[in-house]
Structure 1
């Protein structure tokens, strides 16, 4: 993440103190070039230009976000719904529904100073993808050691319960899977991360991983971009020629971080994963085509 001292006073007030820039003054209010809007604080993608529309409200408006990128929470006023970067928590603005501006009937009202625009063809420096592959302790432990992974966090995704606890997820009634957020440098190919995901767990098991049973231990790739989806589907199709692949490929939704004691669990305890280790699935010596 960027150092707060590098931001202007307005940027600091908006992103970290939840202030609002004056209407009709933002750099991206009347701006419709093709590209991607990333969080000015952490650099992860938040919005795509194809989801931007002119609402005449005074601030940039979007009717959709990058999957898994934005978190909604009750505003301090107890009425509105605040939106923040799902990764770093920087304040973005507010989200409204029921106004009828677009078919999606949603308006993300975002402060320009919370965003940085990347023109079409320019890749963000980092992206995130979410993996579920059984107990998240072991999955995180192994991904932390992958060259090019910048950060990891364990939590829950794919269910219906908001802000679930670990105890609630373990009941198997929340619909969530134990999931690891993986933030990676885009200098690496996300296909390599996806292959690694398949190599560190048994992707043929349904709602199970080793001794752990239940829907919360299912195998899922939660994608946040078209590139991730395409490469995940391509890799799965290749594996299906030889294996019964139970892994699902789904669009990322809200990621709910697990309690602090679950983060970096094996680094804290000095233990090692009991059902996660790297297996040889893809031939490393011969470049393979997944076509």
Structure 2
């Protein structure tokens, strides 16, 4: 969706469509079958292969083919993967680029990140991270001078006043209460993430990488063990339902904080035990719990570090245990209720 493509598409849509169909980007989006069900846990039907290509693997649908390109009905466009509201119909306009265009998004619904091509700005669903398209500024189409160029396959349309629209905004309201964040590392992130999804009050748990010196690492990079990054999980929670201390207590129960640079059969610095605190209050809570475990005889080796950049892991890692039935190996051990040698805690 570059400026060059946009210029060509306005002059010769038919020719552009033929050219687009031979671009290898779409052909390269071969899918693992389980990725098509990546929205497990979200209130939306499973993704089709074409939807998964776009939302999960960042492909782009051919121009002038999207079902919402010429949709002029009143309502709300919601994320096809997680069902969160993205765009109001009144912000949609005709740009002639071949994809649905919006000059604004629902507040907080869309996240901007540098595109892998090093030139454009990619837009993602702020809730689930699904790929939406790209955003451009300075073109002068509307007074807002912004164009969100969005794939129809990334969205679903909820007519104004419909139950679907009401449900989407109800979900957004519920997520707005999820103001707490915890970042921890405790071995393979599949199991840690899965365990936190089962803790009441947790809104979301996302697998990723943090704590290292290499920017924007991928799984293969971290697996080499030389990036300094740990497989980590970012937990968002509703503080009115569960506290940060309760989240950390569960963390120390679902992994072994006495194992250095490993968890069970997974060995390497990337599998270390660590708490990445966001402020001094979180640091104090972590120190309190670690001190208590040491008083109970546990030789805690958990690192305590200030939080830095958190890089979300690839789509196929998210909710892996839930989707595949594998990796759910982090079972809770009541470490705060008994001493290391097995006797009850006082």
Q: TM-score range by the shorter chain?
A: 0.5 to 0.7
The answer as to 2:85 corresponding to 1:3 is yes
The answer as to 2:236 corresponding to 1:183 is yes
Change (3 A) 1:272 1:168: closer
How many aligned residue pairs are there? 207
Change (3 A) 1:137 1:88: closer
Provide the rounded CA distance (Å) in 2 between the counterparts of 1:269 and 1:7.
Answer: 37
Task: Please give the TM-score of this superposition, normalised by the length of structure 2.
Answer: 0.51
Which of the residues 108, 114, 120 maps onto 1:41?
108
Q: Which residue of 1 aligns with 2:281?
A: 227
Contact 2:86–2:105 (CA under 8 A) maintained in structure 1? no
Q: Which residue of 1 aligns with 2:263?
A: 209
The RMSD of aligned alpha carbons is 3.9
Once the two structures are superposed, residues 108-145 of structure 1 have per-residue CA deviations (whole angstroms, 9 ceiling, x without a partner) of xxxxxxxxxxxxxxx97422111100000110111110
Q: Which residue of 1 aligns with 2:316?
A: 261
Change (3 A) 1:246 1:83: farther
Which of the residues 192, 199, 207 maps onto 2:246?
192
Displacement, 1:74? 6.9
Provide the rounded CA distance (Å) in 1 between the counterparts of 2:264 and 2:116.
Answer: 42
Unaligned runs of 5+ in 1: 17-39, 43-69, 92-122
Larger % of helix: which?
2
The correspondence of residues 147-186 of structure 1 with structure 2, limited to 5 A, is 147-186=200-239
Once the two structures are superposed, residues 151-196 of structure 1 have per-residue CA deviations (whole angstroms, 9 ceiling, x without a partner) of 1111100011111111111110111000011111111211000000
Q: Which residue of 1 aligns with 2:166?
A: none
Displacement, 1:88? 6.8
SS in structure 2 at match of 1:160: coil
Provide the rounded CA distance (Å) in 2 between the counterparts of 1:201 and 1:177.
Answer: 14
* Structure possessing the higher relative contact order (Cα contacts under 8 Å, 6 or more residues apart): 1
Task: Please give the TM-score of this superposition, normalised by the length of structure 1.
Answer: 0.59
Displacement, 1:3? 2.7
Contact 1:41–1:88 (CA under 8 A) maintained in structure 2? no
The correspondence of residues 71-110 of structure 1 with structure 2, limited to 5 A, is 73=114, 78=119
SS in structure 1 at match of 2:309: coil
Contact 2:293–2:336 (CA under 8 A) maintained in structure 1? no
Change (3 A) 1:151 1:124: closer
Once the two structures are superposed, residues 179-231 of structure 1 have per-residue CA deviations (whole angstroms, 9 ceiling, x without a partner) of 01111111121100000000001100110100111000001111223332221
Change (3 A) 1:78 1:182: same
SS in structure 2 at match of 1:181: strand
Q: Which residue of 1 aligns with 2:306?
A: 251
Provide the rounded CA distance (Å) in 1 between the counterparts of 2:229 and 2:123.
Answer: 22
Which protein has the larger Cα radius of gyration, Structure 1 or Structure 2? 2
Larger % of strand: which?
1
Displacement, 1:2? 6.2
Contact 1:2–1:41 (CA under 8 A) maintained in structure 2? no
